[in-house]
Amino acid sequence: MNPHHNDPNVDYQRLHQLSEEFTQLWNRLQALYLDAVAGFALVRDRVESDQAHARSYVRGSELDSEEFQDTRTFTYSQIFSEDFCTSGIHEATQGEVKARNAPGGANFTTLGQLCLASFYDFWNDYLRREYVIAKGHLDRDESCKSVVEARLQEHASHDLWGDLRLLRNSIVHNQGVAISDVARCRLIRWFKPGDPISITPEYMRAIFLALLIYRNELFKEHLPKTYSRIPSS
């Protein structure tokens, strides 16, 4: 039995490196998302605790209401020093802070959009071309744009990345409101034209898992496939 390896033009070592780089990106963005969401909860809890404490001093008066407390100014002074990242000049009411940090609030939407755009930019600006080069379908020195685009289209088209591109375009170019192109999404069918691209934790979980499946597929590609030829008698 003689083992045979697949396409000798494939750079399996480079595919492994790309798999590792994408894994690192996935881990960083997952950690960012989880840490940030934990921070949202802590800030929201901090405001609610401060409000309960303030109301204990005015029990029974017209100031003893959530509506009034929500009009009071929020400050980061007890969390950061005033010179930390312009925290000293941040302006918001306590109600606004609670709302933006609540599940489904503006912070969740913005964070999800940032993660989605970051994943797609890594793919579009780096991984896609490097993958096609490693697979032996494109010369690294190729400078003809039409040739590059044709090879990318032929050898690195993926429904998931295509859907993320359409959503990213709405986020970046239309202030986070879905444009008509979202109707072309094949896998991610959450939004209709005109909908806000609100990436809830449930949606973000689905995106992370889908990208994890892609990572696993990419990882498998660095393993040269072998088969054995049985000599004929």
Compute the distance between CA of residue 99 and CA of residue 108 in angstroms, rounded to an integer: 11
Q: What pLDDT digit, counting tens, does each position of 118-135 carry? A: 999 999 999 999 999 999
- Reported as a pLDDT band with limits 50, 70 and 90, residue 113 is very high
Q: Is the pLDDT of residue 222 over 90?
A: no
The residue written with tokens 């590792």 in the block is 20
Q: What pLDDT digit, counting tens, does each position of 36-92 carry? A: 999 999 999 999 999 999 999 999 898 899 999 999 999 988 888 878 988 888 999
The residue written with tokens 């840490």 in the block is 35
Residue with the larger pLDDT of the pair 222 and 229 = 222
- Reported as a pLDDT band with limits 50, 70 and 90, residue 6 is low
Element spanning 65, H or E: none
pLDDT at position 2: 39
β-strand partners of 226: 5
Write the CA distances from 219 to 128, 131, 135, integer angstroms: 14, 12, 13
